[in-house]
Amino acid sequence: MSENKKTSLENIGEFGLIERITAKATTNRSSTIYGVGDDAAVLRKNDKEVTLISTDMLVEGVHFNLMYTPLKHLGYKSVVVNLSDICAMNGVPEQVTVSIAVSSRFPKEAIEELYEGVHKACDIYNVDLVGGDTTSSLSGLTISVTAVGSALKDNVTYRNNGSENELLVVTGDLGAAYMGLQVLEREKSVYKANPKIQPDLDGYDYLLERQLKPEARKDVVEFLKDLKIVPTTMIDISDGLASELFHLCTQSGVGAQVYDEKFPIDPKVSTTALDFNVDPATCVLNGGEDYELLFSIKQEDFDKMKGNPHMTVIGHFTSKDSGIYMIDKQGAAIQLKAQGWNHFQEGGGDEKDDQ
């Protein structure tokens, strides 16, 4: 191929690449209910249940920095972010496989520490580590995890089933993981300038935990089951609220309005964001790695979840022609753009999406 016909991956971005390499993917097996395009693939298990499968890869220097990421935390996080994809299909995670490519600069003890975190996550989420692979690497550490789960066929929640006027709901609070990363990056820069200065991390425990040790919202799947609510769409927030909202709207053929004043933001996120001269809403919209759930429900289901401290209504779907907007505290409508991580831009990373 001549040079003038080559397309830069930086120009098309991760999602553009995914669209191109999956455009010709076909499903020929009757057991494949849903292939690429959602948080997990859906396979027929029996007449009432389906199997959910999702896989992600974490690459040193792209998804994590070992200068400030403890290996035990990394092992834990690598499992949890994959379990989050199963939860985002309204399913229950059951098994994982973990594969690593590792360079010779890592001693045996380091790999054992990594797997301490893997086993801890498996214990907490009651999933089984059932396999994996190991190989050598010439460029540091790469971790690939595949998560397997199950759900009732009628309860599986896809991204493409949203309708106008349905309510948009998020779990937990948003923006903390992003601000945790900013704190860590700041202290890394200080250390590089003067290794004798100790990192100043006092008071940032919650932000750092959200970045280094996120949790999958398996509990929310259980809450929804108890409330007898089946969301119409759902996705986990790995790449910022704006990007995930675009996924739901694009695949469902709808628009959306979300309200700045409704965003659930922890006070520590707000104060730290202001210290960094960042609008807290920007942390929510474009930060990522919260691994909370964004989902939609029918309006008649609102009374079932009203008052639940784990869930917040932040807006609603609109017609496709209405676009995707945030209404700020002054009532102004601001058109949203998906500005999450792009793997192929210099310094990009941290998006972990799709199988």
Q: What DSSP string runs through 124-159?
A: HHT-EEEEEEEEE-SSS-EEEEEEEEEEEGGG---S
Report yes or no on 350 lying in a domain: no
Among candidate residues 125, 155, 185, the one where a domain is terminated: 155
What pLDDT, on the 0 to 100 scale, is given for residue 206?
A: 98
Q: Same domain, yes or no, for 197 and 74?
A: no
Q: How far, CA to CA in Å, does 207 sit from each of 51, 77, 114, 272? A: 34, 15, 22, 9
What pLDDT, on the 0 to 100 scale, is given for residue 30?
A: 85
Report yes or no on 207 lying in a domain: yes
Q: Same domain, yes or no, for 95 and 186?
A: no
Q: Same domain, yes or no, for 202 and 280?
A: yes
**Residue-averaged pLDDT of the chain:** 91
Report yes or no on 303 lying in a domain: yes
Report yes or no on 88 lying in a domain: yes
The CATH number of the domain holding residue 122 is 3.30.1330.10
The CATH number of the domain holding residue 276 is 3.90.650.10
Residue 133 phi, psi (nearest 5): -155, 155
Domain count within the chain: 2
Q: Same domain, yes or no, for 195 and 80?
A: no
Report yes or no on 349 lying in a domain: no
What pLDDT, on the 0 to 100 scale, is given for residue 37?
A: 84
Q: Same domain, yes or no, for 216 and 94?
A: no
Q: Same domain, yes or no, for 305 and 263?
A: yes
Report yes or no on 355 lying in a domain: no
What pLDDT, on the 0 to 100 scale, is given for residue 225?
A: 96
What pLDDT, on the 0 to 100 scale, is given for residue 18?
A: 60
Which residue from 71, 57, 54 is spatially nearest to 143, judged by alpha carbons? 57
Report yes or no on 117 lying in a domain: yes
The vertex-215 CA angle with 211 and 220, nearest 5°, equals: 140
Q: Same domain, yes or no, for 27 and 126?
A: yes
Q: Same domain, yes or no, for 118 and 220?
A: no
Q: Same domain, yes or no, for 148 and 10?
A: yes
Report yes or no on 346 lying in a domain: no
Q: Same domain, yes or no, for 142 and 177?
A: no
Pairing relation of β-strands 324-327 and 255-259? parallel
Domain span at 24:
3-155
State pLDDT tens for residues 95-107: 999 999 999 999 9
Q: Token pair for residue 220?
A: 């929310």
What pLDDT, on the 0 to 100 scale, is given for residue 355?
A: 47
3-class DSSP state for residue 180? helix
Q: What is the pLDDT along the chain (355 residues), one digit of tens a residue?
A: 555 678 776 666 655 666 666 666 667 788 899 888 889 999 999 999 999 999 999 999 999 999 999 999 999 999 999 999 999 999 999 999 999 999 999 999 999 999 999 999 999 999 999 999 999 998 899 999 999 999 999 999 999 999 999 999 999 999 999 999 999 999 999 999 999 888 889 999 999 999 999 999 999 999 999 999 999 999 999 999 999 999 999 999 999 999 999 999 999 999 999 999 999 999 999 999 999 999 999 999 999 999 899 999 999 999 999 999 999 999 999 999 876 545 445 544 443 444 4
Among candidate residues 91, 121, 155, the one where a domain is terminated: 155
Q: Same domain, yes or no, for 134 and 226?
A: no
What pLDDT, on the 0 to 100 scale, is given for residue 5?
A: 72
Q: Same domain, yes or no, for 247 and 145?
A: no
Q: Is the pTM of this model over 0.85?
A: yes
